[in-house]
Amino acid sequence: MQVRPVIACVSLLAGALVALSGTPAEAASTTQYVSPSGTDSAAGTQSDPTTLTTAISRIASGGTIYLRGGTYDYSSTITIPAGNNGTSSARTTLSAYPGETPVLNFSAQSESSSNRGLQLNANYWRLYGITVQRAGDNGIYVGGSNNVIERTVTAYNRDTGLQLGRISSSTPSSQWPSNNLIVSSESHDNADSDGEDADGFAAKLTTGTGNVFRYDVSHNNIDDGWDLYTKTDTGAIGPVTIEYSLSYKNGTLSDGTVNSNGDRNGYKLGGDDIAVNHVVQHDIAYGNGHHGFTYNSNPGTMTISNNASVDNAQRNFSFDAGTSVFRTNTSCRFSVSGSNDKTVGDADSSNQFWTGANGSRCSSYSGTLGWSFASDGHLAVTFGGKVVTP
């Protein structure tokens, strides 16, 4: 006699859930499959793939979304929302299906700061093997923390290809994106209409501590290869590490387009005279349209070590102030003339900077540039037929 009211209450609750959502409540899935022809109502299995937005809403913490190969055409930003988190021991994964290349294409978007491509605002995710192209703003924007972005390509977007920054203007600095790793990724041919903002990679304005770029390649972007800009309004960002990476021919797109408004540096490391102690090591800058490595008014104590800078249009190393520490860096010129390097700070005899004549160590960098990602994710660089992996 007392069971029936309980059953009735449960039935009423279930009915209310259906009324609110339109469908019965569904348990989160540990695996979802997505394809360009998938539908929202599909089960998300290999034989019945769903859409990316639906898979994101369904996936359980620590689960995996597989994107089948092909082109996905979108006109609106795809967002992985804050709170949809993985864990430190089990990241939620958005991955290319093994052996296939999914391309998220946002060419239907107009150029606008509100028209990003893929927006990652959650924590403890892993993005793997995805190409994001032609967004109206950033290709990939990371507002969350403790994420790994691996083997992604961001290209032909109308602002920086891959950028880290706060989720919104109300996000406190304690919640700015931190401890993200961008690894074995490429960013190229990103260009905005005024030529001033579209970099390859950026961690600028509103980023926390512990962000790392490793084994990445940035080339042929209209502005800078890397941008770590700070401004007075938002203050210092957390120190960033850029290591074992390559930045070349930024300031000129692959089709030869140049915009004189662009800064055109390989690695731009500051702004507004705000000190941040970045770590820049084992990197190569080659053939960029302005400086190879530049402090850009960052007066901090940066670690600048084991880098090679070759044939950048002005200085290979440009540090006019600060207390940065320079060790075992090499600067060379072959086909391009420019002003001599300037390295204000702590620079000892382990460096070979350009002071009007090339030394013998430069010969190992002479020639044509080539690069690839090895199967283990490491960046392999050749110059003049010789391996010069940073």
* pLDDT(311) > 60: yes
**For residues 295 and 266, is the Cβ–Cβ distance under 8 A?**
no
The pLDDT-based confidence of 390 (bands split at 50, 70, 90) is confident
**For residues 313 and 338, is the Cβ–Cβ distance under 8 A?**
yes
Which of 295, 346, 301, 290 has its CA nearest to residue 320? 295
Tell me, yes or no, if the pTM score tops 0.85.
Answer: yes
Query: What local confidence, expressed as pLDDT, does residue 13 receive?
Result: 33
**Which residue's structure tokens are 């391309």?**
103
Tell me how far CA of residue 234 lies from CA of 207, 274, 300, 373, in angstroms.
10, 11, 17, 36
What domains can be seen in the chain, in order of their start residue? 31-387 (2.160.20.10)
* pLDDT(363) > 80: no
Q: How many CB atoms lie within 10 A of CB 196?
A: 12
Which position among 204, 231, 249, 268 bears the catalytic label? 268
Q: Is 231 a catalytic residue?
A: no
Q: How many CB atoms lie within 10 A of CB 271?
A: 20
Residue spans of alpha helices (H) in the chain: 3-21, 52-58
Q: What is the rounded CA–CA span in Å between residue 325 and residue 47?
A: 57
Query: What local confidence, expressed as pLDDT, does residue 19 receive?
Result: 35
Mean pLDDT of 257-282: 97
* pLDDT(361) > 80: no
DSSP-derived letter for residue 173 is: G
Adjacency order of strands within the sheet including 246-248: 70-73, 102-105, 131-133, 153-155, 186-188, 217-219, 246-248, 284-286, 308-310, 330-332
* pLDDT(250) > 60: yes
Q: What is the rounded CA–CA span in Å between residue 18 and residue 68?
A: 31
* pLDDT(18) > 80: no
pLDDT digits (tens, 9 = 90+) for 52-68: 999 999 999 999 999 99
Please give the residue that has the higher pLDDT: either 356 or 198: 198
Terminal CA-CA length for the chain: 77
Query: What local confidence, expressed as pLDDT, does residue 357 receive?
Result: 62
HSE-CB for 334 with a 13 A CA cutoff: 15
